Chain A
Amino acid sequence: MTYLPKPKFHHPDIETNSLGFSHRDYEGPISTLCAGCGHDSISGAIIKACFELAIEPHRVAKLSGIGCSSKTPTYFLGQSHGFNTVHGRMPSVLTGANMANRELLYLGVSGDGDSASIGFGQFAHAIRRGVNMVYIVENNGVYGLTKGQFSATSDKGSKSKKGVANTDSPIDLVAMALQLGATFVARSFSGDKGQLVPLIKAAIEHKGAAFIDCISPCVAFNNHDGSTKSFDYVRAHNAALNTLDFITGQAPITADYAPGTVEEVKLHDGSTIKLHKLAADHDVRDRGAAINALHRVQSRGEIATGLIFLDDEPDDLHANLNTVLRPLNRLNDADLVPGSAALDKINAGLR
């Protein structure tokens, strides 16, 4: 943990986006997490994604629950709206906020304890309702704040720092999200920003329930031999199904891939996801195949990462409820109270 504020000086040739902001403008106060925490890297990836997409910070609401992961929204997007909710209740508060103002970009940040244990039900319902959000789980497979007990996502057989093996079956949040109807499902690794940043950008542009399970090694309690969520283990067992470039508008495509391995997915806002397929047989638009691929990779003892499933014509909760386009929190009395004449008319119709 660092006490010093990050110096205000920045690189003299710092890049700015179309809003005139540099990536430094998307930072928050300095992190108080342990040095080297994977969560800080994910914060860095979120900062990079928002900077590159030129997102106006005041159009973002970041919500979280309780835990190391849920502390992180303090450390990025310092100019955005934030809500640190009750443990495991982030999905409900996010759903409510989204109902009230559909125009903000909702970023739910949670951890494996917050989403796979105490908030498991909340997680499930926000996903199955199709709330338009980016839901990121910073998954370290351990209860870091309470000194390293196994969490619900710890793999069976994975060893604690003291050497005790986990006997419980893990919850795979990616499989759950697929099952529950999420329209954008991905997994990534905090140590691979090259993969993570485009995934976050694509998830932000996705107009539906986007879920990213991000493995994030806990350097204090879960980065040892025998852990299945350590830097070394994840690097050695990472089976990336694809990598992607997220391209907004008509920006030139610079990445050079072998022909036949690239699939372009056009999104309705004009942006493009350029998928570089590493596993040739993986079809990101087939939910059933995605579930199969997930199990197949897992049974080989590997971790499937990349964009796992995408429905590029998603429905969201507002569409399902047929709400008005104007945010509900901006409807005033004139919109909501038809007046006594209208009431009289209704009453008359019932007589």
Chain B
Amino acid sequence: MKPTEITDPAYFHKVVDCQWACPAHTPVPEYIRLIAAGRYSDAYMINWKSNVFPGILGRTCDRPCEPACRRGRVEEEPVAICRLKRVAADYKSDVRGLMPQPGKKNGKRIACIGAGPASLTVARDLAPLGYEVTVFDQDPKAGGFMRTQIPKFRLPETVIDEEVGYVLDLGVTFRHKRIDSLKAILDEGYDAVFVGTGAPRGRDLDVPGRQEAAANIHIGIDWLSSVSFGHIDKIGKRVVVLGGGNTAMDCCRSSRRLGGEEVKVVVRSGFEEMKASPWEKEDAMHEGIPIMNYLVPKAFNHADGRLTGVVFEKVKAVRDAKGRRDLVATGEPDVVIACDDVLMAVGQENAFPWIEKDIGIAFDHWGMPVVDPVTYQSTVKGLFFGGDAAFGPKNIITAVAHGHEAAVSIDKMLRDEDIEQRPSPLTNLVSQKMGIHEWSYDNAVANDLRYKVPLKDAEIALKDIRTEVELGFDLKLGFAEAQRCLNCDAQTVFTDKLCIECDACVDICPMDCITFTTNGEEGELRHRLNAPAPNTSQDLYVSGPLKTHRVMVKDEDVCLHCGLCAERCPTGAWDMQKFYLEMTHAGPSCRSRA
């Protein structure tokens, strides 16, 4: 193998698994260390800069970082990264003084349609630069689906108000106005238009009885937003929720709080394949909601215009010759579940009835606008899409990431720069050595298992739909959980010309990550290291040739970043260096230096 090119920002970025997995590339270990140090405001600001909604995401994020967390590979459970983010949000002091100020107006006007996370991110990035940003939404308050879809027992209104407020305080104009024509907006002469309208249409099920029993059959996301606005405050005693995603989980848990006593979630597929995050399924089951699998809705039973139950066909998963999974009927008798109300959470779709077909936007064959995955520009110059509106339903953090990139495109475009030329991230790599065996980070590895977030007593929690269920970590638990972080950003940097091949690092490494051996091809090398390195998604760090013509090979996979290799190194060939990577957002640093 060739010596590893550690100057490539992507190399060490990949080692910080959580940051690499985060769509917005939040510097996770850095803010976790700040939490451990009690610097909650600083931890919050790192998050705020990167993901705009730390308090909201600290409660609701899809957490792509956690399955990626190295801790999950060396122990059992990843660090509770998401809930640590909430610790930063809960215990920060007044951070308004740390936020940017509205910029001096530069005369450019930007319209953002939809006031969800994508649009608000665009607004947050551009307003301090002097852009005049107007955000339109059909609802009276900004926040989009974060406000209307996520039940208040998971995300209190105060948190949304606070974090949406930080964005609007940057001089962003919010207008409560439903946009019915994109052409009309384009004609208003904005310098750029960003569409962040989400995926607002809940899928329906066309099965017998649907029309007749319509009064008791609700589309999940519409029902959730009616609940959110207080238009709906009760539901029947027996509720069936159809669907296996996070919306279904929100529907069933909301039902439990609005009078639903027998609430059941019924899913076509198996439990493991459900789209809902494992922790959301857990939370639902914790509230006494059974999840029933392999049942496909066949008909709605009704009498006198009232729903009486749902008929399900029993299916099983069968793999065909190509390994594709298929659900086929088992032939067993149908299952009838009696109920008073049905909530359908079987998927969301984009819907752009307000976009005229003749204004030059190309649509793909699913009726989705064609959007560049790098610049987020549509086929119309100056018209950008982001969030669920761009590539279908994902999650908040993805919408934020889209917003940052679209803001970069808008800023560059309005300065007559090529928006295809993307800025590289800002990186920094600096030694953490403080003494012979002292580092500026706490390199002792905590053996603690993942801490559970304390919950409000279920009886109290189920009484009021606005009572937040999770209490969040207190400071003590937050510190203990933060100490579980392995500081993967403290990189093991190897300088081959300093190495005397004394083997000290090999002997001390608790994970047998380091091998000195003759070089070879990667596939073959992976099998003759001190410990096998079968996880090819994790790189091998290979040095240049050493004095004995061997090379140092380090498997990054399960390195604890404990720094013992560097502590035991007599020549400083190993050093622990903090890798800090920050994405370049809109502003002077995203522009070309020419």
Report which A residues bind B (CB closer than 8 A).
Answer: 1-4, 6-15, 24, 30, 34-38, 40-41, 43-44, 190-191, 193, 217, 219, 223, 231-232, 235
| Chain A residues whose C-beta falls within 8 Å of the C-beta of B567 in the assembled complex | 2, 4, 35
One of B119-127, B146-154, B495-503 contacting the partner = B495-503
| Chain B residues whose C-beta falls within 8 Å of the C-beta of A217 in the assembled complex | 502
Answer yes or no: B562 CB below 8 A from chain A CBs.
yes
14 contacts across the A-B interface (CB closer than 8 A): A4-B437, A4-B567, A7-B564, A8-B510, A13-B531, A13-B532, A30-B508, A35-B568, A37-B502, A41-B503, A41-B507, A190-B502, A193-B503, A235-B547
- Also in contact, A9 and B445, with CB within 8 A (given A2-B567, A35-B569, A36-B568): yes
| Chain B residues whose C-beta falls within 8 Å of the C-beta of A1 in the assembled complex | 436-437
| Chain B residues whose C-beta falls within 8 Å of the C-beta of A9 in the assembled complex | 74-75, 445, 447, 510-511, 560
Answer yes or no: B558 CB below 8 A from chain A CBs.
yes
- Whether the pair B502, A44 counts as a contact (CB closer than 8 A) is no
A34 to B447: give the CA distance in the assembly, Å: 27
- Also in contact, A7 and B560, with CB within 8 A (given A35-B504, A235-B548): yes
- Nearest first, the 3 A-B pairs at minimum CB distance are A36-B570, A44-B507, A7-B445
A2 to B437: give the CA distance in the assembly, Å: 6
| Chain B residues whose C-beta falls within 8 Å of the C-beta of A43 in the assembled complex | 507
- Also in contact, A232 and B568, with CB within 8 A (given A12-B73, A37-B504, A41-B502): no
| Chain B residues whose C-beta falls within 8 Å of the C-beta of A30 in the assembled complex | 508
A232 to B571: give the CA distance in the assembly, Å: 14
A11 to B534: give the CA distance in the assembly, Å: 12
- Whether the pair A34, B570 counts as a contact (CB closer than 8 A) is yes
| Chain B residues whose C-beta falls within 8 Å of the C-beta of A191 in the assembled complex | 501-503
Answer yes or no: B139 CB below 8 A from chain A CBs.
no
Q: Give the Cβ gap from B150 to chain A, nearest Cβ, in Å.
A: 36
Interface membership of chain B positions 209-240, coded 1 if the CB is closer than 8 angstroms to chain A and 0 otherwise: 00000000000000000000000000000000
A34 to B510: give the CA distance in the assembly, Å: 18
| Chain A residues whose C-beta falls within 8 Å of the C-beta of B74 in the assembled complex | 9, 12
A37 to B507: give the CA distance in the assembly, Å: 11
A2 to B435: give the CA distance in the assembly, Å: 11
Q: Give the Cβ gap from B263 to chain A, nearest Cβ, in Å.
A: 40
| Chain B residues whose C-beta falls within 8 Å of the C-beta of A41 in the assembled complex | 502-504, 507
Interface membership of chain B positions 513-532, coded 1 if the CB is closer than 8 angstroms to chain A and 0 otherwise: 10000000000000000011
Which of B447, B500, B513, B558 is the one whose CB lies under 8 Å from A36?
A: B500
| Chain A residues whose C-beta falls within 8 Å of the C-beta of B570 in the assembled complex | 34-37, 219
| Chain B residues whose C-beta falls within 8 Å of the C-beta of A34 in the assembled complex | 570
- Whether the pair B500, A4 counts as a contact (CB closer than 8 A) is no
| Chain A residues whose C-beta falls within 8 Å of the C-beta of B504 in the assembled complex | 35-37, 40-41
| Chain A residues whose C-beta falls within 8 Å of the C-beta of B531 in the assembled complex | 11, 13-15
Answer yes or no: B443 CB below 8 A from chain A CBs.
yes
- Whether the pair A231, B500 counts as a contact (CB closer than 8 A) is yes
Interface centre among A8, A13, A34, A35 (most CB of B within 10 A): A35
Residue of B with least CB distance to A193: B503
A254 to B405: give the CA distance in the assembly, Å: 56
| Chain A residues whose C-beta falls within 8 Å of the C-beta of B571 in the assembled complex | 36
Which of A3, A11, A15, A36 is the one whose CB lies under 8 Å from B502?
A: A36
A41 to B436: give the CA distance in the assembly, Å: 20
Interface membership of chain B positions 415-455, coded 1 if the CB is closer than 8 angstroms to chain A and 0 otherwise: 00000000000000000000011000001110100000000
Answer yes or no: B512 CB below 8 A from chain A CBs.
yes
Residue of B with least CB distance to A8: B447
A231 to B534: give the CA distance in the assembly, Å: 33
Answer yes or no: B241 CB below 8 A from chain A CBs.
no
Residue of A with least CB distance to B530: A11
A34 to B503: give the CA distance in the assembly, Å: 13
- Whether the pair B564, A6 counts as a contact (CB closer than 8 A) is yes
Q: Give the Cβ gap from B504 to chain A, nearest Cβ, in Å.
A: 5
